[in-house]
Structures are given as C-alpha cells and as structure tokens.
C-alpha cells in the first residue's frame, strides 16, 4: 500500500560556488535509493538555485582573520563537505512557535509539523492552542506536538528549543501602516523575548511580529539587558519579500520559477524593502519602467494582500510558507549543511545602520557569514533607493530601542 | 508510493527501449515545468480546511492551475497564496456566477465546503446544511467539469458521496471511477496512533482503514499494519476506538472553535497528490478511499484503491481480517447502509 506522503521539505538554498547541486537535488538523488521518496512532488518546493559566490566576497564581519580563513577553507572543502554531509534528514530539532493559534501561527505550525528535521514542536499562545495541537498531533510525521496556554506556561514551552519562531501579535487592517501595530506588538515581543532569554538563551530567534524593523531591535535590547544577546542568533524574517520578488519577476519576465532568486535587502516595510533586481539570478535585463513597477509591487505586496482581504487580515498563508522555509534553512544550517543562504534582517556592519537585511550564510551557530559583495555594483536606481530607505529604517530601529530603554526589563 | 515500487519502476524504465510515460515522469520529477498541466479546484477555499489546503496545493509542483472558490473571502486567500514562488497560477473566485469558471477544465475538484462539527454533534447532525451545499456544487460540476476527479471532504462523507453520485447520475455524467470520499485522515490517524504504541518510526508505518468515515464505520485493519508489532487485544481495541473517535477528539479540544482543519488539509493534500500522480501515469499509486464498490454488499465502501489515468483503476479487496475486525465489519454495515440511503433519498426526494 502506498506509504502516504508524510514529511516534506520547504527550504530553499542557493548553492554557493559551483552549480553542482543545491541541497534539494542531493536530497532527491539520495531519496531515489532510500525509502523516503514518497514526497518527491513536495520536494519540488525548494527554489533550487545556483549562485556563484566568490570566496573573497564572504565576510565574517567582526570575526577574526582566522575565522575568515576558516571560511575559505570550508569553501574549498565544499565538495567534500557536501558529500560528507548526511543528506538524509533525521528528526532531531526542537522548535517552539509563539502565537501558534493565530492566522500565521496555525499554517506555520502545520508546515513545521511536516518537516522531517523536527522532533519536538511546542505550540504556545494565550488561547486556543490546545485544539491546534490536538489537530496537528494526528499527522503522521516525526515531531511530538505539545500545547502551552498562557504566560505561566510560556517558560515550559521554550525549554530546550533550538529555534523559537514568533508570529505573535495583531495584523494590519486596511489603512494601517506597519507602524500602527507598533504599540501592541512591541509589548508582546518584549514579553516573549524576555522568556526566551530566561529559558532558552541559545536558541535561534525568528521574529515575524511586525513592524520587524522595530521589533528586532526591541528583541536585541531585551536580550542585551538579560546578558544573553548573540547577534548571530537573532533574525527578522524577511523571506516573504524574497519569495514575492521571485514570484513577481518570474511572472513578469517569463522565467522558470525554479531558477529565479533575487536578494532583497534593507528592512521589511514599504520603501525599506529593497529588491536588488540587478542581481537577479538568472541574469536578466530590466528596463527602467519594469524596475520601478516591480520594486513598488514588491514593496507594497503586503498592502496588496491586506486590501484583497478587506479587513479579514493580512498575509497568513504565504507568510507561513516563507517562515517555514526560513526555519528549515536554519535547521539545515544547525545540522551542518554548508550551503545554506537566505536573506534576513540581522545585526549588521554592512551599512552604518545597526540592523540591516541582506543575504547571509546560515550555520551551526546561526549567522555564519555575510556577503558584502551584495552592496557592490548596485545600479543608480538601487543606490538611490538604498540611501532613501536609510532614514526610515534608522528611525524604526531607534523607536524599537527607545521602547525598551524607557521601560524596565522584567528580571 | 513506497521505495520498492519506485525502485522497480525505475528498473523497468532501464530495461525497456520505449520510455513509459510513468517512468518519464519519475525521472523528470524535479523538472516541474515538464510535468503535465493540471488544474485543481478547491470548493470552499476560504474556510478552516480550505485555506491550509490551498496553501499545500500551491506548494505541490504537480499543479499548474489552482482555482479557489468560495461564497466569500477567496480574493484575499488567492492574493495571499499567489505570492508563493511555486509553479501554479492562482485565481480566486467568489459567488455563484463564478463557479463555472472555477470549475472549467479542472482535473481534480476538492470539496471541503460546509460547516464543521461543534462539541456534542455527530457528523450526521451536519447533514441538513452540508447536503444542500454538496448537492448544488455537484450540479455545477456536472455542468462544467464532469470529467474531473471529485475528492469529497464535506461531512458526513458517508452520505455526501452518495449524494454526489445521485446528482451526477441524474445529469447523465456519473463515472464511478471519478468520485472519492476522502478518508485519508483516518489512515493518517491510524498510522500515527499505531506508531506510538508499536514504538515504530511513523514514516515507515502503513495501516489500511476501510468501511466509512464516521464513528464505528471507520474500521482500521491493524492486523494488516506494518511493521508488525505484538500488540495485545486491549491495545488494538483502544487504538481502534481512538482512530474512530479521532475527529471527536479534536472537536472537543477545540471547544467550539471547530473541527480538524490542519490535519484534514494535510490529509486532503496527500490524497489529491495521489490522484494527480495517478492521472500522470505514475504506477502503483494506492490509497484508501470511500468509493462505489462491490467489495461488500453495500454500494459504497472504503478500501484500498489503485489510482490511474481515469481515477479508480482497481478497487482492492479487504485482505485477511482478524476476528475482531470481522466483527467490526459486520457491526458497521447497518449504520453505513443507512447513511448511504439517507444521502440517496435526499437527492431523489427533492
């Protein structure tokens, strides 16, 4: 009898270096000879791309020269690494979702439940999460699902977590900007990150709660005050901007979706979202009109969905997909896959701003390397847009920092 | 499909000079653009099951067109899902007038439309509302896409599948190979619960589930489960009851907020995927489903079926049953019979 589809992988990797094969193809070829092939059609989710990354372009930021050399050496060993890397995923990671009963949380929890990399899935919310957990617990995938309701149970939901995903908060309604959410969501994020600091300070933290441009700095301040801040482990999830850029460009230019990858830098709101169309893979030419239209569409895509939903909410399903993809990428990085690149909003030295989204390499400790070449060779349009976004992004960051510094952090 | 089937299919490919369509699809499984064009329509796409189901179908590279229909809310769901960078083109349709367009050219129509159970309700309590919804949707299917494979999720499946059959018959378009009641969630639950007791890796577990899709009409055949485990009669009884009451378990945990949505979307996506593979010529695609059947004296019955280019290629038998299962089989027949008759009467009476 058919062994029904159980687990599937939604991650995406850009294969740095040669076009030998991104993770998904490796997984596929091993799958042919092993038993877990029943999800071959779902494996097609991975937007497999090959992007040539010059070794020299990898920067480990403030790390020492020795670490830098290590990353060169790692690249040289890339081929060996890949063949040594145990491509058959086994469930071994613990993920906590804070806000699991919400519009994003529920489909996100489903996708994480379907991941072959996860052994434990803890679902936390202020209400309704017991039903979500019961529902998901019936799925025949490896992870054990547990529900945690209310602040008194928040600590237990976090203990032992490798990754904590935070979609908690309220969504936009038509006419609202992301900043309008600030007051409500800022408090929520602060409380949740305090608990992360107390219960699983080594976890990777994925912030989805908007406005990310501010909530990530809020999280950083909370973690600093608790003395556990590790800038390599705090991420604002901007994957949806990349996903949208890929979709819109592929549609507009009639490209095969599976080939398309576009880096998106800056922040995660309106004009702070900067898709670098000039760096589209595969290489494609855009006229000025296309650049403007596509850039605007990518920047306003969130609003596009808020308006289409006419008061019923903001992007939930596509956000769940993007966030789940970023979770999978992070887990593969934790697992030792040497080939995982995603764009994310992190503490950064790439510009004068303390936080900035760009393409990063994910590894066993979170952010392993930056790709500073991403800011080289920008078109005039992109250069202008980059300068134009900085003031707004700076203000949002400062708003987040100020929010925490004005209030005491619960010890 | 499992590894053994895949390996033998690939071997078959190498030894023949003509490349069979099935092995072509298997070898080219990762070049999604070379897989055939397939339109999937979801009726009830903005609901509790419909939304996560739409997401999962959007993620399936076998789908080239995804039509999302509901009485409201679908433009928003479609806009949301359309941003995902996967193959299918997504269109949202809302209101009756658009139902035809949503259905035209569909290969697979998945129907989660309707209201869910609340605590204390049986699936039969939903009958009045959902029967009417299913009947009118099937009238449209008969008109606009009679050749599609219909995957019925709307409860009570034991009655809504016979309702669909009657509507198709009265429109002269009934094809018993193309109508399925989705029972995959019962299989999923049986596998999960069995894996727990047998201490087995859940990914390797198989358990057939036969009969119907409500309470005791759900009959998991743990005697045929693999990998084998030495479970006591008590454990088997408990597992059987838990599989039968799995839906109620979730309705109660949700305390009025609905029934299984995420696991139902997951199961629905698995079954639709199996149908797509069958249509695309992948060999040996076998799933349990509630279909027109001669396996018992009842006109409809769930058992393993082999899926292919025309839908059901073969209805497989029940296999050997333990005494306990034999008793369960006899016990479920009266209830299943009356649910089927209730569905038929609903259409014939109106």
> Is the distance from CB of A329 to CB of A95 less than 8 angstroms?
no
Check whether the bond before B12 is cis (ω within 30° of 0): no
A72 has a pLDDT exceeding 80: no
Collapsing DSSP states into helix, strand and coil, what is residue B5? helix
pLDDT category at A87 given cuts 50, 70, 90 is low
pLDDT category at A50 given cuts 50, 70, 90 is very low
Query: B79 CB near a chain A CB, below 8 Å?
Result: yes
Of all residues in chain B, the one with the smallest CA distance to A31 is B3
A36 has a pLDDT exceeding 50: no
Q: Which of A366, A405, A390 is nearest to A213 (CA)?
A: A390
Q: What is the pLDDT of residue B247?
A: 95
Q: What is the pLDDT of residue B123?
A: 74
Q: Which of B34, B94, B40, B103 is nearest to B70 (CA)?
A: B94
Instruction: Suggest the residue from B262, B272, B315 to mutate for an interface test with chain A (most A CBs closer than 10 A).
Output: B262
Q: How many CB atoms lie within 10 A of CB B64?
A: 17
> Is the distance from CB of A278 to CB of A269 less than 8 angstroms?
no
Please report which residue ranges of A336-379 form alpha helices under DSSP H.
Answer: none
Instruction: Suggest the residue from B31, B83, B317 to mutate for an interface test with chain A (most A CBs closer than 10 A).
Output: B83
Q: What is the pLDDT of residue B130?
A: 95
B31 has a pLDDT exceeding 70: no
Q: What is the largest CA-CA distance in chain B?
A: 60
Q: What is the DSSP letter of B312?
A: E
Q: What is the DSSP letter of B206?
A: B
Name the strand (E) or helix (H) holding A156: helix A154-158
Name the strand (E) or helix (H) holding A402: helix A380-406
Q: Which two tokens stand for residue A109?
A: 């929890």
Q: Which two tokens stand for residue B10?
A: 């690939």
> Is the distance from CB of B199 to CB of B171 less than 8 angstroms?
no
Q: Which two tokens stand for residue B36?
A: 């055939």
A58 has a pLDDT exceeding 50: no
Q: What is the CA radius of gyration of chain A?
A: 20
Of all residues in chain A, the one with the smallest CA distance to B1 is A2
A83 has a pLDDT exceeding 70: no
Contact B270 A133 (CB under 8 A): no
Smallest CA–CA separation between A401 and chain B, in Å? 31
Instruction: Give the whole-angstrom CA distance, residue A261 versus residue A336.
Output: 23
**In B, which residues are within 8 Å of A106 by CB distance?**
52, 261-262
Q: According to the 3-state scheme, what is the secondary structure of A198-256?
A: HHCCCCEEEECCCCHHHHHHHHHHHHHHCCCCCHHHEEECCHHHHHHHHHHHHHHHCCC
**In B, which residues are within 8 Å of A109 by CB distance?**
262
Query: B32 CB near a chain A CB, below 8 Å?
Result: yes
Contact B2 A3 (CB under 8 A): yes
Residues A108-122 as b or e (16 or more Cβ within 10 Å = b): bbbbbbbbbbbbbbb
Query: B205 CB near a chain A CB, below 8 Å?
Result: yes
- As a whole number, mean pLDDT of residues B303-330 equals 98
Task: Kindly tell me the number of DSSP H helices and DSSP E strands found in chain A.
Answer: 13, 13
Contact A45 B61 (CB under 8 A): yes
Query: B77 CB near a chain A CB, below 8 Å?
Result: yes
The partner residue sitting opposite A134, judged by closest CB among B3, B75, B250, is B250
Smallest CA–CA separation between A273 and chain B, in Å? 16
Instruction: Give the whole-angstrom CA distance, residue B158 versus residue B290.
Output: 8
Q: Which two tokens stand for residue B229?
A: 């485990």
Instruction: Give the whole-angstrom CA distance, residue A374 versus residue B256.
Output: 51
What Cα–Cα distance (Å) separates residue A121 from each residue in A134, B173, B337? 12, 46, 41
Q: Taking the alpha carbons of A36, A40, A46, A51 in that order, is the dihedral positive or negative? A: positive
The span from the first CA to the last CA of chain A, in angstroms, equals 56
**In B, which residues are within 8 Å of A10 by CB distance?**
59
Contact B287 A4 (CB under 8 A): yes
DSSP β-ladder status, A144-149 and B65-70: unpaired
Query: B238 CB near a chain A CB, below 8 Å?
Result: no
Interface list for A 249-278 with B (CB within 8 A): 250, 256-258, 260
Q: Which of A145, A118, A98, A320 is nearest to B263 (CA)?
A: A145
Q: Which two tokens stand for residue A270?
A: 């309106």
The partner residue sitting opposite A110, judged by closest CB among B29, B30, B265, is B265
Contact B73 A318 (CB under 8 A): no
DSSP lists the bridge partners of residue B92 as B68
Query: B73 CB near a chain A CB, below 8 Å?
Result: yes
Name the strand (E) or helix (H) holding A409: none
Name the strand (E) or helix (H) holding A194: helix A182-199
- pLDDT, chain B, mean: 91
Instruction: Give the whole-angstrom CA distance, residue A342 versus residue A358.
Output: 8
DSSP β-ladder status, A273-275 and A264-266: antiparallel
> Is the distance from CB of A132 to CB of A109 less than 8 angstroms?
yes
The partner residue sitting opposite A42, judged by closest CB among B3, B59, B73, is B59
Contact A308 B266 (CB under 8 A): no
pTM, two decimals, is 0.87
pLDDT category at A90 given cuts 50, 70, 90 is confident
Q: What is the DSSP letter of B112?
A: -
> Is the distance from CB of B153 to CB of B52 less than 8 angstroms?
no
Q: What is the pLDDT of residue B12?
A: 37
Q: Tell me the CB-side half-sphere exposure of residue A147, using CA atoms within 13 A.
A: 21
Q: What is the CA radius of gyration of chain B?
A: 20
DSSP β-ladder status, B209-211 and B218-220: antiparallel
Catalytic residues of A: 268
Please report which residue ranges of A4-128 form alpha helices under DSSP H.
Answer: 23-33, 40-43, 65-76, 78-84, 105-113
pLDDT category at B346 given cuts 50, 70, 90 is very high
B251 has a pLDDT exceeding 80: yes
Query: B270 CB near a chain A CB, below 8 Å?
Result: yes
- As a whole number, mean pLDDT of residues A122-131 equals 98
Name the strand (E) or helix (H) holding A359: strand A355-363
pLDDT category at B28 given cuts 50, 70, 90 is very low
> Is the distance from CB of B226 to CB of B2 less than 8 angstroms?
no
Query: B206 CB near a chain A CB, below 8 Å?
Result: yes
**In A, which residues are within 8 Å of B269 by CB distance?**
5
**In B, which residues are within 8 Å of A117 by CB distance?**
none
- As a whole number, mean pLDDT of residues A318-338 equals 97
- pLDDT, chain A, mean: 83
Q: Which of A11-25, A89-103, B233-247 has the least mean pLDDT? A: A11-25
Q: How far is CA B320 from the centre of its chain?
A: 24
Q: What is the pLDDT of residue A89?
A: 67
The partner residue sitting opposite B85, judged by closest CB among A243, A309, A317, is A243
Query: A243 CB near a chain B CB, below 8 Å?
Result: yes
Instruction: Suggest the residue from A26, A31, A32, A41 to mutate for an interface test with chain B (most B CBs closer than 10 A).
Output: A41
pLDDT category at A31 given cuts 50, 70, 90 is very low
Percent of residues, chain A, with pLDDT higher than 90: 71
**In A, which residues are within 8 Å of B62 by CB distance?**
41
């Amino acid at each position: 009898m058919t062994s029904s589809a159980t687990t599937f992988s939604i991650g995406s990797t850009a294969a740095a270096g040669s076009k030998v094969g991104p993770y998904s193809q490796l997984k596929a070829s091993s799958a042919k000879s092993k038993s877990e092939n029943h999800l071959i059609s779902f494996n097609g989710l991975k937007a497999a791309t090959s992007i040539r990354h010059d070794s020299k372009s990898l920067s480990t930021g403030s790390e020492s020269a020795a670490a830098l050399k290590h990353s060169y050496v790692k690249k040289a060993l890339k081929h060996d690494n890949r063949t040594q890397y145990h491509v058959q995923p086994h469930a071994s990671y613990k993920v906590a979702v804070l806000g699991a009963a919400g519009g994003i949380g529920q489909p996100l929890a489903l996708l994480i439940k379907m991941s072959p990399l996860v052994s434990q899935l803890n679902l936390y919310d202020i209400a309704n999460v017991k039903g979500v957990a019961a529902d998901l617990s019936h799925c025949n995938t490896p992870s054990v699902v547990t529900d945690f309701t209310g602040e008194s149970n928040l600590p237990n939901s976090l203990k032992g977590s490798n990754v904590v995903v935070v979609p908690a908060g309220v969504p936009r309604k038509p006419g609202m900007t992301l900043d309008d959410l600030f007051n409500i969501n800022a408090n929520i994020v602060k409380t949740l990150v305090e608990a992360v600091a107390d219960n699983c300070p080594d976890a990777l933290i994925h912030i989805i709660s908007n406005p990310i441009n501010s909530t990530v700095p809020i999280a950083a301040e909370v973690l600093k005050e608790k003395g556990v801040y590790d800038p390599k482990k705090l991420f604002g999830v901007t994957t949806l901007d990349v996903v949208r850029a890929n979709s819109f460009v592929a549609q507009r230019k009639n490209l095969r979706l599976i080939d398309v990858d576009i880096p998106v830098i800056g922040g995660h709101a309106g004009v702070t979202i900067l898709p670098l169309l000039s760096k589209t893979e595969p290489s494609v030419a855009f006229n000025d009109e296309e650049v403007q239209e596509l850039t605007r569409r990518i920047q306003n895509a969130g609003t596009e969905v808020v308006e289409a939903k006419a008061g019923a909410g903001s992007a939930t399903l596509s956000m769940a997909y993007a966030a789940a993809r970023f979770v999978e990428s992070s887990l593969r990085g934790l697992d030792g896959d040497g080939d995982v690149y995603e764009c994310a909003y992190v503490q950064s030295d790439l510009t004068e701003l303390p936080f900035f989204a760009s393409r990063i390499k994910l590894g066993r400790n979170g952010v392993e390397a930056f790709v500073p070449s991403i800011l080289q060779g920008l078109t005039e349009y992109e250069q202008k847009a980059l300068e134009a976004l900085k003031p707004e992004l700076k203000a949002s960051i400062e708003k987040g920092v100020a929010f925490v510094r004005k209030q005491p952090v619960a010890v | 499909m499992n590894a053994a089937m895949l390996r033998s299919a690939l071997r078959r490919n190498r030894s023949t000079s003509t490349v069979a369509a099935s092995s072509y699809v298997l070898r080219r499984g990762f070049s999604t653009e070379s897989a055939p064009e397939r339109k999937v329509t979801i009726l009830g796409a903005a609901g509790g099951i419909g939304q996560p189901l739409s997401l999962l179908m959007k993620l399936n590279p076998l789908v080239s067109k995804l039509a999302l229909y509901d009485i409201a809310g679908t433009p928003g769901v479609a806009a949301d899902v359309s941003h995902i960078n996967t193959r299918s083109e997504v269109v949202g349709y809302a209101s009756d007038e658009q139902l035809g367009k949503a259905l035209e050219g569909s290969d697979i129509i998945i129907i989660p439309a309707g209201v869910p159970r609340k605590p204390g309700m049986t699936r039969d309590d939903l009958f009045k509302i959902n029967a009417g919804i299913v009947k009118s949707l099937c009238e449209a299917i008969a008109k606009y896409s009679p050749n599609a494979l219909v995957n019925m999720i709307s409860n009570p499946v034991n009655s809504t599948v016979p309702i669909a059959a009657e509507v198709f018959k009265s429109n002269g378009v009934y094809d018993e190979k193309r109508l399925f009641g989705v029972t995959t969630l019962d299989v999923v639950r049986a596998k999960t619960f069995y894996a727990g007791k047998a201490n087995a890796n859940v990914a390797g577990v198989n358990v057939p589930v036969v009969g119907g899709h409500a309470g005791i009409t759900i009959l998991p055949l743990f005697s045929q489960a693999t990998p084998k485990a030495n479970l006591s009669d008590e454990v088997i009884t408990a597992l059987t009851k838990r599989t039968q009451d799995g839906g109620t378990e979730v309705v109660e945990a949700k305390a009025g907020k609905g029934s299984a949505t995420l696991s139902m979307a997951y199961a629905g996506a698995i079954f639709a995927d199996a149908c797509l593979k069958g249509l695309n010529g992948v060999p040996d695609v076998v799933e349990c489903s509630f279909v027109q059947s001669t396996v018992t004296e009842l006109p409809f019955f769930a058992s393993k079926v082999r899926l292919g280019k025309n839908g059901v290629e073969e209805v497989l038998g029940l296999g050997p049953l333990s005494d306990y299962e034999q008793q369960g089989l006899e016990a479920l027949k009266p209830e299943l019979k009356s649910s089927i008759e209730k569905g038929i009467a609903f259409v014939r009476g109106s």
